């Protein structure tokens, strides 16, 4: 049996993890991978490589859901049929400890650190569930295991590296994770054919959330149930789903409660659509049958409440209806992420949002991330500039150091061209650029920072980080980027050509000096907003600029 082959970005993920550990003798990284990127295969290869390179290594793979435990363990055996592994999960009726690799459910092993014993590496799937406040089952178990082995390291894996009320999983004094590693984006996976593009249509029907209270960063469940429980609105939404389905074959509907899911399924059946509801109250056998029928195409629509956001993958899903309003960007991404899997039978997945989630959180490539609330007492509340790490008062909207502009907490995304992917490039005419060496606040790594200034003085500068001299894929990509810039902007490209190769060790300060003194800036750029950062996709030099450079 031939061994599974990793995709380029999957191997890149492992390479970046190893590099991070070489650069950081303490701390824990969190690997951020989009839904559908194949986390289970990356975990399997990481375990195989670690055990074959260091046979004494002991690894514990944790997650919260039986389906994820089984999926990760199965992929391990597909990659390495003789893997020395065990599974400990009450839900799966398996209690195997003492193996070099253990796949376990956190609920089953929470109090069993003494039985698990010495562990070198803990991997946590869906690691955004780990609290940043030294509380909860994960933190308790990891604390007990660290007492046994103070050199224990943890790797998190998630598509959504943030928690409501706590911000990013790296935020806060007691955060378990030190840094995010993001080897690939959703946009890159779609461009390379690994994921299916999403489409969205602005819906005529919308839930009215006026008066719906919030608690701990999410809608109060009782108020939410009242807001979505209006029969007329639900009927109109279901009629719109059927009308807009456009021949799509596999519909997944996210609802806000058990009664809501049952009601929506009933309305779908009234309109002649085969539909079933799956909730936490659905008996296990009935739930398995409904999922099997849905995956086999025997039913068209599956409505659910809080059970199919993780651990459920059906590539054929080609329509997602959001009838569950949420303030959680993580839940939003998990819901729409169910439609990203590729299948020969579909060209795209249509997202119909009746709950205002897209306008609330933004496109999936640029989600608005909640920041942790300010703490009362002590020194005045402060925030860190994401561009230059300057600490300023939370009320400051323009960084005095670099000019970064914060957006209002009330920011709402306007659905342009019905594009949930946020993929339309933006163009900015330039008045100039500047170059400097940027040092990562946590890692201490040095890189180039190019700031592009718009001809319209009111426009926000676009910043591009170029990791020249890095190893692996990041360094190779930076070298190609710099080579293109040098060839267009310098009258004598040989001044820098030897310094931008991918053999490492360029003098970044000298690069900045040459670019500042001798290079001609582009007349315009095209860029996309990629999460917290800008991604420059094209630089344009006008005819006069080109002639001057030559």
Range with lowest mean pLDDT among 114-123, 221-230, 398-407: 398-407
| pLDDT > 70: percent of the chain | 83
Contact between residue 365 and residue 529 where contact means Cβ atoms under 8 Å apart: yes
First to last CA, the chain: 58
Cα–Cα dist 120/138, whole Å? 16
pLDDT at residue 543 tops 70: no
pLDDT at residue 514 tops 50: yes
More confident residue, 194 or 442: 194
Q: What pLDDT is attached to residue 329?
A: 87
Cα–Cα dist 277/241, whole Å? 16
Q: Place 3 in a pLDDT band, splitting at 50, 70 and 90.
A: low
pLDDT at residue 457 tops 90: no
Mean pLDDT of the chain: 84
CATH of 8-185, one of 3.40.50.150, 3.40.50.300, 3.30.465.10, 3.40.50.620: 3.40.50.300
Q: What pLDDT is attached to residue 185?
A: 86
Nearest C-alpha neighbor of 124 from the set 19, 58, 14, 28 = 28
400-431 pLDDT, tens digit each: 555 666 654 333 444 444 567 766 678 889 99
Per CATH, the homologous superfamily of domain 196-361 is P-loop containing nucleotide triphosphate hydrolases (3.40.50.300)
Contact between residue 342 and residue 195 where contact means Cβ atoms under 8 Å apart: yes
> What is the maximum span of the chain, computed from C-alpha positions, in angstroms?
74
Alpha helices in 245-337 (DSSP H): 258-270, 284-296, 329-337
pLDDT at residue 60 tops 90: yes
CATH 3.40.50.300 intervals, the chain: 8-185, 196-361
238-267 pLDDT, tens digit each: 999 999 998 899 999 999 999 999 999 999
431-441 pLDDT, tens digit each: 999 999 988 76
Look at residue 474 and give its three-state secondary structure. Answer: helix
């Amino acid at each position: 049996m031939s061994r599974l082959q990793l995709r380029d970005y999957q191997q890149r993920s492992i390479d970046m993890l190893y590099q991070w550990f070489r650069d950081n003798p303490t701390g824990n990284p969190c690997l951020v991978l989009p839904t559908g990127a194949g986390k289970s295969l990356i975990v399997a290869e990481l375990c195989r490589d670690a055990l074959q390179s260091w046979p004494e290594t002991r690894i514990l793979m944790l997650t919260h859901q039986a389906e994820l435990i089984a999926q990760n363990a199965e992929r391990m055996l597909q990659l390495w049929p003789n893997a020395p592994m065990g599974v400990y999960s009450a839900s799966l009726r398996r209690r195997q400890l003492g193996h070099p690799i253990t796949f376990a459910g956190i609920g089953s092993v929470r109090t069993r650190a003494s039985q698990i014993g010495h562990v070198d590496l803990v991997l946590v799937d869906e690691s955004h569930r780990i609290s940043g406040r030294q509380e909860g089952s994960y933190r308790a178990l990891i604390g007990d295991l660290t007492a046994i082995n103070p050199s224990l390291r943890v790797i998190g894996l998630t598509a959504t590296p943030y928690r409501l009320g706590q911000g990013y999983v790296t935020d806060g004094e007691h955060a378990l994770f030190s840094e995010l590693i993001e080897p690939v984006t959703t946009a890159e996976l779609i461009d390379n054919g690994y994921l299916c593009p999403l489409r969205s249509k602005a819906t005529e029907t919308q839930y009215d959330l006026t008066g719906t209270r919030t608690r701990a960063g999410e809608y109060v469940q009782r108020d939410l149930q009242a807001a979505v429980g209006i029969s007329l609105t639900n009927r109109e939404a279901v009629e719109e789903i059927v009308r807009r389905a456009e021949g799509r074959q596999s519909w997944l509907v996210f609802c806000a409660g058990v009664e809501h899911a049952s009601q929506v399924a009933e309305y779908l059946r009234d309109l002649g659509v085969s539909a079933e509801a799956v909730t936490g109250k659905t008996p296990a056998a009935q739930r398995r049958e409904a999922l099997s029928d849905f995956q086999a195409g025997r039913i068209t629509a599956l409505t659910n409440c809080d059970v199919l956001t993780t651990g459920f993958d059906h590539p054929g899903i080609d329509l997602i209806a959001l009838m569950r309003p949420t303030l959680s960007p993580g839940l939003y991404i998990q819901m729409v992420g169910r439609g990203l899997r590729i299948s020969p039978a579909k060209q795209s997945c249509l997202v119909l949002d009746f709950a205002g989630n897209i306008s609330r959180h933004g496109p999936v490539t640029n989600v608005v991330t909640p920041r942790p609330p300010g703490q009362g007492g002590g020194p005045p509340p402060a925030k860190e500039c994401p561009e230059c790490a300057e600490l300023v008062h939370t009320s400051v909207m323009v960084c005095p150091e670099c000019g970064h502009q914060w957006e209002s907490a009330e920011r709402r995304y306007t659905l342009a061209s019905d594009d949930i992917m946020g993929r339309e490039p933006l163009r900015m005419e330039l008045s100039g650029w500047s170059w400097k060496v940027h040092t990562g606040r946590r890692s201490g790594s040095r890189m180039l920072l190019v700031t592009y200034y718009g001809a319209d003085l009111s426009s926000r500068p676009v910043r591009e980080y170029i990791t020249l001299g890095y190893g692996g894929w990041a360094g190779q990509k930076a070298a190609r980027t710099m080579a293109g810039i040098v060839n267009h902007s310098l009258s004598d490209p040989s001044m820098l050509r030897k310094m931008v190769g991918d053999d490492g060790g360029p003098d970044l300060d000298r690069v900045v000096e040459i670019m500042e003194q001798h290079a001609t800036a582009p007349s315009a750029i095209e860029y996309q907003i990629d999460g917290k950062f800008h991604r420059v996709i094209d630089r344009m030099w006008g005819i006069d600029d080109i002639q001057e450079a030559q």
